Structure 1
Amino acid sequence: MKLSLAFASLLAVPAMVAAKTYFKETFDDKSWESRWVQSTHKEDYGKFKVSPGKFYADKKGSRGLQTSEDAKFYALTAPFDEVLDNSDKPLVVQFTVKFEQNIDCGGGYVKLLPPGTDPKTVHGETPYNIMFGPDICGSSKKTHVILNHDGKNHDNTEQFLPLSDQLTHLHRLTLNPDGTYEILNDEEKHNGTIFNHWNILPPKKIKDPKASKPEDWVDKEFIADPEDTKPSDWDDAPEYIADPDAKKPEDWDDDMDGEWEVPKIKNPDYKGEWKAKQIKNPNYKGPWVHPEIDNPEYKEDASIGKYKSAYIAFDLWQVKSGTIFDDIIVTDSVEEAEAFAKETFLKKQPKEKAEKDKLDEEERKKMEAEAAKAAKEAEEKEKEEKAKEKEEEKEEVEAQEAEEAKEEEEGHDEL
């Protein structure tokens, strides 16, 4: 009996749903070339190359997809293993970006594309479900999360600043079926609901167009005291008076300088403009609040933020190339994405930072050596120029002396 009860209770426990990964990419070998498709929509798309960059934690493990040509559009697409439908499960997109070139203007984001997309024709106007990642141009910096709904793209209204130094940083977006979301930039998290931070639907409430503030509504809280009067001697003191310490300069000449006038100073007894003291307005009703009504254009839409996605794509512009994308995962589990980050990004991060510091120190020493060399060369050149000037002055003096001696000799001959 006990065994059958135990067996029955086991059956009652809901089965655990295994996490599913729809796409994963590390660019650690040449197999990436068979997955990613270059768009032919434009003839002059920039070329991607695989590289760990100038500094890295591991030459193979740090290899990523790097933009290699300046002032170019880039368009590269790869398919998922199967279509991801996030209507009843989380959607998790995670990847790393390294702006090794110290980016001045360009995108560092990815796009998720719907089924039926032709990877060979992907371009800037190709419809997409989600665009996620950093976008930087001058002082304008933002982590975009653009959601498509009914053919229109809607960017997040919250300002999530991306990390834009030259190190590798992790970016993760999670969309949940209940409309909640989370954005992760390394360790910094932002979360909320799609309905609060995207203006996709019209507002639930609007100001009642038939209501207006009553004409007799008093919203001025304080007024001048009608019983307060200005003192009779208030304006007796002028604002400026002659400076009592000023004296006519001894060297002042009325004929030359004009009539001397005593300079003016601010009168310490001047009281300024008189204003009646303020008292509480007895008729004050407080600020008028425009009444609201239900927006007739508002309609609940449970499909917002829910998509069928089949591709991931890089579709971006870069002024200065050098951005490296790596360690991409698209899954339905945050735990799966976190585990992947531990295997890749978090394992490499400390050593990469150490290598960057080492490279910076080498660059600093190199610049100091070049500056010292340039200063020494400049000093030697200055010495040479001074020696040359001195020699030229000597030659000029000798020539002048010779000329004077010649003239003196010719004078003696004439005598």
Structure 2
Amino acid sequence: MDLDKEETETQPESDVSFQVTYKTPVPTGDVYFAETFDDGSLNRWQISKTVKEDIDDDIAKYDGRWNVEQLKENKVPGDLGLVLKSRAKHHAIAALLDRPFVFQDEPLIVQYEVNFQDGIDCGGAYVKLLSAVEDLDLEQFHDRTQYSIMFGPDKCGEDYKLHFIFCHKNPLNKDVEEKHAKRADVDLKKFYTDRKTHLYTLVLNPDNSYELLIDQSTVSRGSLLQDVVPPVNPPREIDDPHDSKPEDWDEKAKVPDPEAVKPDDWDEEAPAKIEDPTALKPEGWLDDEAEFISDPTAEKPLDWDEEMDGEWEAPQIPNPACATAPGCGEWKRPMINNPQYKGKWKAPLVDNPNYQGVWKPRKIQNPDFFEDLQPFRMTPFSALGLELWSMTSDIYFDNFLITSHREVADRWASDSWGLKKLVASANEPGIVAQLMIAAEERPWLWVIYVLTVGLPVGLVVLFCWPKKTEEEYKYKKVEVPQDDEEEEEEEEEEEEDTADKEEDKEEAAADPAGGK
């Protein structure tokens, strides 16, 4: 697998952003089934030609279309997959294994890829491992065809599931009952909404342990003996269906104290509410004004028939005189809780000396009891099928694998799904673009972005912006105000100085010799 980065101009999202040399994966060990669809054909597969029972004819047919094609986005040149092409139709397609899988001493590993290319509204992408029975006919594959295991994603509304269901045969009466594994331990929503190819893996071990993985990470694990509903093994004892509670059985844990006596001052007649004795009528209350009056502007309709409609009365409107008053009509004190109210006296409860506990029917041996300590040993299966209804089209499947060897499954995943994951990662937008895309889908995220980014920036600016020092301030000379007397003295001195200068000039002009 060679990967070389390619510098290209802006391309559509569906184009790969670097060169890949793809080779169809080949199993590195023993497998029961391996399918890549890279030959572009469905020669190995059989599309069902039957109809569903007990539903309307117009939707009973398995007429949903299948096609082999590339992914819409994050394409890997040369890599093809099986695509469910119809919406609101029944789809069924199946293929025989190279040889049946028999549950004995080796694990079962089922692995395949799914991409909900257009998202998913309501529908599934699970596989069924069809039981190896004599009457198995893939052309007649439908919802009631016997299967040993059902595994894979399913979604409707906001219920996101990863199914693991196995069919257990009752060793006593041979009835077959579905057993459902517990729900996954993680939130599965992103696997249905991100439009990426995800790898689904089921590992089932001979010790009855199981593990469900998505993208090679465990999302659920448990035991066939302890973590499925209903349980594989019924209880040893059950309630006797013929037992009944005796008529004199006393289940009351508490009873009224027979020795209690009502106190003499207990007043059962005291009302729960009384008028507030401290209340005073608000000043300005209009006792003589009605709260509502007849509308003086109303007129009897022309078609009013008093014989048929009765006497006409003008509609009532709020009394305008009450608009500025605290109230109109008869004033009544408001009601308050009566501090003397005690209600009907009841004797206090005490422990019932005749209490016998909650009655339960006696236990008897369960006539249908059995103990199967190896539920792993299910009915062998000989085919893999997809029997689906979906309200969304273009569900992509690829690289089915059934084996008993974990290392074979891991290498298969590395050579197939691992390459898709690498291409998808290279084509992902940057973190800023991802945040913008997320905000387009959920506008409330803008509030989070503003608080997360804007608030810290504002605080940094507030506390770190440089402040002016004392040297940067410019000072002006401020003249101190003087008294009026000082101002007059200064003016007189200035006038005397001016007069002396003028006298000196006149003397100099009169004596040109300058005293020579």
Q: Output the TM-score relative to the length of structure 2.
A: 0.57
From 237, 240, 248, the counterpart of 1:208: 240
Are 1:109 and 2:143 counterparts?
no
Are 1:40 and 2:88 counterparts?
no
From 147, 158, 174, the counterpart of 2:182: 158
Closer/same/farther in 2, CA of residues 173 and 233 from structure 1, 3 Å limit: farther
Contact 1:146 1:153 in 2 (8 A): no
- Aligned-partner Cα distance in 2 for 1:230–1:339: 85
- Aligned-partner Cα distance in 2 for 1:229–1:353: 82
Partner of 1:402: none
The residue type paired with residue 238 of structure 1 is P
Residue range with higher mean Cα deviation, 349-358 or 92-101: 349-358
The residue type paired with residue 71 of structure 1 is A
Q: CA deviation at 1:106?
A: 0.7
How many aligned positions are there? 349
- Aligned-partner Cα distance in 1 for 2:407–2:252: 57
Q: C-alpha deviations, 1:132-188, integer Å up to 9, x for none?
A: 222222244433333334574514163447543334433333333444433334431
From 185, 194, 197, the counterpart of 2:228: 197
Partner of 1:220: 252
Q: CA deviation at 1:191?
A: 0.9
Corresponding residue SS for 1:174: strand
Closer/same/farther in 2, CA of residues 291 and 308 from structure 1, 3 Å limit: same
From 198, 208, 223, the counterpart of 1:169: 198
Contact 2:401 2:409 in 1 (8 A): yes
Closer/same/farther in 2, CA of residues 59 and 342 from structure 1, 3 Å limit: closer
From 108, 112, 115, the counterpart of 1:91: 108
From 398, 406, 430, the counterpart of 1:326: 398
Contact 1:46 1:73 in 2 (8 A): no
Q: C-alpha deviations, 1:361-393, integer Å up to 9, x for none?
A: 48957997xxxxxxxxxxxxxxxxxxxxxxxxx
The residue type paired with residue 21 of structure 1 is V
From 57, 70, 76, the counterpart of 1:51: 70
Corresponding residue SS for 2:43: helix
Partner of 1:30: 39
Contact 1:70 1:318 in 2 (8 A): yes
Residue range with higher mean Cα deviation, 309-318 or 191-200: 191-200
Contact 1:52 1:60 in 2 (8 A): no
From 281, 289, 299, the counterpart of 1:247: 281
Partner of 1:124: 143
Closer/same/farther in 2, CA of residues 76 and 143 from structure 1, 3 Å limit: same
Are 1:65 and 2:82 counterparts?
yes
The residue type paired with residue 39 of structure 1 is S
Q: CA deviation at 1:24?
A: 2.3
Q: CA deviation at 1:289?
A: 4.1
Corresponding residue SS for 2:42: helix
**Cα root mean square deviation, aligned:** 3.8
Q: CA deviation at 1:245?
A: 3.5
Corresponding residue SS for 1:34: coil
Closer/same/farther in 2, CA of residues 354 and 226 from structure 1, 3 Å limit: farther
Structure with bigger RCO (C-alpha 8 Å, 6+ apart): 1
Q: CA deviation at 1:355?
A: 4.1
From 267, 271, 288, the counterpart of 1:238: 271
Contact 2:260 2:347 in 1 (8 A): yes
Q: CA deviation at 1:90?
A: 2.2
Residue range with higher mean Cα deviation, 246-255 or 303-312: 246-255
The residue type paired with residue 22 of structure 1 is Y
Q: CA deviation at 1:249?
A: 6.3
- Aligned-partner Cα distance in 1 for 2:372–2:414: 37
Residue range with higher mean Cα deviation, 98-107 or 261-270: 261-270
Closer/same/farther in 2, CA of residues 342 and 230 from structure 1, 3 Å limit: farther
Corresponding residue SS for 1:156: strand
Residue range with higher mean Cα deviation, 306-315 or 112-121: 112-121
Q: C-alpha deviations, 1:281-313, integer Å up to 9, x for none?
A: 333344444332221123345785512212111
Closer/same/farther in 2, CA of residues 217 and 89 from structure 1, 3 Å limit: farther
Contact 1:208 1:293 in 2 (8 A): yes
Closer/same/farther in 2, CA of residues 135 and 241 from structure 1, 3 Å limit: same
Q: CA deviation at 1:69?
A: 2.1
Contact 1:246 1:263 in 2 (8 A): no
Unaligned ranges ≥5, structure 1: 1-17, 369-415
Closer/same/farther in 2, CA of residues 278 and 320 from structure 1, 3 Å limit: same
Closer/same/farther in 2, CA of residues 20 and 267 from structure 1, 3 Å limit: farther
Closer/same/farther in 2, CA of residues 276 and 180 from structure 1, 3 Å limit: farther
The within-5 A match list for 1:327-342 is: 327-342=399-414
Partner of 1:280: 351
Contact 1:66 1:325 in 2 (8 A): yes
Closer/same/farther in 2, CA of residues 151 and 239 from structure 1, 3 Å limit: same
The residue type paired with residue 402 of structure 2 is V
- Aligned-partner Cα distance in 2 for 1:241–1:351: 80
